[in-house]
């Protein structure tokens, strides 16, 4: 297993003890120049016996910052890596895979983060875990807190996706909505400072990323992809990116495998973003992350921040990666095409990688025969209230002939089409 042996800055490398207060401002040495998150310093003790047989990401507990006996698990990880030839052909690719994270217990990739974060929180004696979340992170943390017997506080904002708020409330978490989005950070900060809450999300500006222990859970994405590809490595991994927690963890995972000589090369990463913060940062040579003007209200609300983080920038730079800004145009239709062609109903943010791949194919940056993995981070049920906004209400038919006439007009279907072959 890997014990929590302290933290190091992802930018300057300064090291800090494991009992440092994680106050969401990141490395004390970098705050005034370029705020940067911390990462866990790994100290391998010994492999946990029999962990490879565990039906969760804790099968990789030798690479996680918590002994497996403290693990809080709902069976997260081990999500399918599905070949997607139909949608791949539409994008101009002959080899596309979808890593379908909607198969996690709360239907999003955040369960990888929450399982590890809540496990460490409980191990350290925390009684209350808290997050500032618009949906997926809150739903996930609430479920794992419930499993661990901890109290969960989710600070959110008016207008967050209804299905996700319902999911959070059903677990018994306390939901605190604010009219002003930034008030939720002040609320979490007071909880941490005055009451000792274990906060898993950012709650300071500028954001550096989420709690480092939770980010360790995203390393397992890389482990699974390589294992599911028979030890091979994709040429590209494309995923939705806001503050870059999953991106940073994914890259740590691949780097770890490379350093252990378990893989012979590293993939290039692509961040599908909304407002272009990482695109602008990559165009420069410095470490600053620009705060962009929001030109539109994104349908992909979970990645809608106007400013990303240094941890995301460094992962892209080290992987010779790219960032691609994605608008709302065609996003719902792309979601529908993925569902129609491959049977995968993904959250709107989760189809932004496909939009990014389409753009990079048009520019011939990604070649037609490159091996590409798109990470679909969450289920389409998460924001169905947004994705169905373009649909007309379904009609109700009052007779069988009326129904046949209607669907015949719509899809040229006849009764014979339903006869057994």
Q: Report pLDDT digits (tens) over 298-326.
A: 999 889 999 999 999 999 999 999 999 99
Residue 346 forms beta bridges with which residues? 379
* Whole-number Å distance between alpha carbons of 248 and 269: 10
Predicted confidence band at 163 (pLDDT cuts at 50, 70, 90)? confident
* Whole-number Å distance between alpha carbons of 111 and 103: 10
User: Is 181's pLDDT higher than 90?
Assistant: no
The answer to which of 113-127, 203-217, 359-373, 379-393 has the lowest mean pLDDT is 379-393
Question: Would 293 be classed as within a structural domain?
Answer: yes
**Please, are residues 42 and 260 in contact by the beta-carbon 8 Å criterion?**
no
Question: Would 376 be classed as within a structural domain?
Answer: yes
What pLDDT is attached to residue 43?
Answer: 61
Q: Is the peptide bond before 206 cis (omega within 30 degrees of 0)?
A: yes
> At residue 131, what are phi and psi to the nearest 5 degrees?
-150, 150
Query: Rounded mean pLDDT of 80-92?
Result: 98
| CATH number of the domain bearing residue 378 | 3.40.50.1100
Letter string b/e over residues 293-315, b meaning 16 or more CB atoms within 10 A of that residue's CB:
eeeeebbbbbbbbebbbbbbbbb
Question: Would 311 be classed as within a structural domain?
Answer: yes
Average pLDDT taken over every residue of the chain: 92
Vertex 357: Cα angle to 351 and 361 (nearest 5): 150
What pLDDT is attached to residue 158?
Answer: 73
Question: Would 99 be classed as within a structural domain?
Answer: yes
What pLDDT is attached to residue 390?
Answer: 60
User: Is 260's pLDDT higher than 50?
Assistant: yes
* Sheet with 236-240, edge to edge strand ranges: 81-83, 96-100, 372-376, 236-240, 268-273, 322-325
**Please, are residues 123 and 66 in contact by the beta-carbon 8 Å criterion?**
yes
What pLDDT is attached to residue 413?
Answer: 52
What pLDDT is attached to residue 119?
Answer: 98
Query: Rounded mean pLDDT of 241-270?
Result: 97
User: Is 363's pLDDT higher than 90?
Assistant: yes
Could you tell me what percent of the chain has a pLDDT over 70?
93
**Please, are residues 271 and 316 in contact by the beta-carbon 8 Å criterion?**
yes
CA distances in angstroms from 98 to 200, 336, 362, listed in the order given: 27, 15, 20
Question: Would 114 be classed as within a structural domain?
Answer: no
* Whole-number Å distance between alpha carbons of 216 and 252: 8
* Whole-number Å distance between alpha carbons of 335 and 14: 43
| 112-155 pLDDT tens trace | 999 999 999 999 999 999 999 878 999 999 999 999 999 999 99
What pLDDT is attached to residue 50?
Answer: 44
Question: Would 276 be classed as within a structural domain?
Answer: yes
Query: Rounded mean pLDDT of 329-345?
Result: 96
| DSSP state letters, 176-216 | EEESSTTHHHHHHHHHHHHH--EE-S--SSS---S-HHHHG
What pLDDT is attached to residue 162?
Answer: 73
What pLDDT is attached to residue 408?
Answer: 79
Give the three-state DSSP class for 84.
coil
Query: Which structural domain, as residue segments, surrounds residue 269?
Result: 81-107+214-382
Question: Would 180 be classed as within a structural domain?
Answer: no
What pLDDT is attached to residue 45?
Answer: 46
HSE at residue 388, side-chain half, CA atoms within 13 A, is 13
Mention every residue, 6+ apart, whose C-beta is less than 8 A from residue 104. Answer: 76, 77, 79, 110, 111, 112, 140
User: Is 420's pLDDT higher than 80?
Assistant: no
Predicted confidence band at 83 (pLDDT cuts at 50, 70, 90)? very high
Predicted confidence band at 328 (pLDDT cuts at 50, 70, 90)? very high
> Strand 372-376 to strand 96-100: parallel, antiparallel, or no bridges (unpaired)?
parallel
User: Is 49's pLDDT higher than 50?
Assistant: no
Q: If we measure between CA atoms, which residue out of 153, 147, 110 comes closest to residue 128?
A: 153
* Whole-number Å distance between alpha carbons of 236 and 254: 12
User: Is 185's pLDDT higher than 50?
Assistant: yes
Question: Would 417 be classed as within a structural domain?
Answer: no
H or E segment and range at residue 132:
strand 128-132
User: The tokens of 257 are what?
Assistant: 């495998």
User: Is 415's pLDDT higher than 60?
Assistant: no
Predicted confidence band at 159 (pLDDT cuts at 50, 70, 90)? low
Q: If we measure between CA atoms, which residue out of 344, 383, 355 comes closest to residue 99?
A: 344
Mention every residue, 6+ apart, whose C-beta is less than 8 A from residue 155. Answer: 130, 131, 132, 133, 176, 177, 178, 184, 185, 187, 188
What pLDDT is attached to residue 2?
Answer: 54
How many domains does the chain fold into? Answer: 1
* Whole-number Å distance between alpha carbons of 234 and 187: 42
**Please, are residues 98 and 82 in contact by the beta-carbon 8 Å criterion?**
yes
Flag whether the pTM goes above 0.85. yes
CA distances in angstroms from 16 to 13, 34, 58, 146, 287, listed in the order given: 10, 18, 26, 31, 22
Give the three-state DSSP class for 14.
coil
């Amino acid at each position: 297993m890997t014990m929590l042996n302290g933290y190091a800055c992802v930018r300057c490398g300064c090291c800090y003890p494991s009992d440092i207060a994680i106050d969401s401002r990141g490395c004390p040495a970098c705050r005034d120049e370029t705020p940067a998150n911390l990462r866990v310093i790994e100290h391998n003790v010994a492999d946990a016996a029999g962990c490879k047989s565990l039906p969760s990401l804790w099968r990789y507990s030798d690479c996680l910052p918590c002994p497996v006996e403290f693990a809080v698990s709902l069976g997260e990880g081990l999500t399918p890596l599905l070949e997607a030839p139909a949608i791949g052909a539409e994008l101009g690719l002959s080899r596309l895979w979808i890593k379908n994270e909607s198969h996690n217990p709360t239907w999003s990739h955040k369960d990888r983060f929450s399982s590890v974060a809540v496990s460490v929180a409980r191990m350290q004696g925390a009684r209350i875990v808290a997050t500032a979340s618009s949906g997926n992170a809150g739903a996930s943390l609430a479920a794992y807190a419930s499993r661990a017997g901890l109290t969960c506080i989710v600070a959110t904002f008016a207008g967050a996706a209804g299905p996700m708020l319902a999911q959070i409330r059903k677990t018994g978490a306390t939901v605190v909505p604010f009219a002003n989005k930034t008030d939720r950070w002040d609320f979490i900060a007071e909880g941490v400072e005055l009451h000792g809450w274990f906060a898993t999300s950012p709650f300071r500006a500028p954001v550096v990323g989420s709690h480092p222990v939770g980010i360790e859970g995203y390393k397992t994405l890389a482990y699974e992809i390589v294992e599911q590809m028979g030890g091979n490595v994709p040429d590209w991994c494309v995923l939705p990116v806001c503050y870059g927690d999953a991106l940073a963890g994914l890259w740590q995972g691949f780097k770890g495998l490379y350093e252990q000589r378990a893989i012979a090369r590293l993939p290039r990463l692509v961040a599908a973003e909304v407002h272009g913060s990482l695109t602008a940062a990559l165009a420069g040579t410095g470490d600053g992350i620009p705060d962009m003007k929001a030109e539109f209200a994104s349908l992909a609300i979970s990645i809608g921040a106007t400013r990303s983080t240094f941890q995301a920038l460094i992962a892209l730079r080290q992987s010779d990666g790219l960032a691609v800004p994605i608008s709302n145009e065609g996003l719902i239709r792309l979601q529908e095409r993925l569902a129609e062609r491959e049977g995968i109903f993904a959250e709107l943010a989760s189809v932004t990688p496909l939009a990014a791949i389409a753009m990079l194919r048009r520019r011939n940056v990604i070649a037609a025969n490159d091996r590409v993995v798109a990470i679909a981070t969450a289920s389409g049920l998460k924001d169905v209230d947004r994705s169905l906004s373009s649909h007309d209400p379904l009609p109700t038919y009052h007779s069988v002939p009326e129904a046949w006439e209607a669907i015949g007009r719509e899809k040229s279907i006849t009764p014979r089409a339903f006869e057994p072959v």
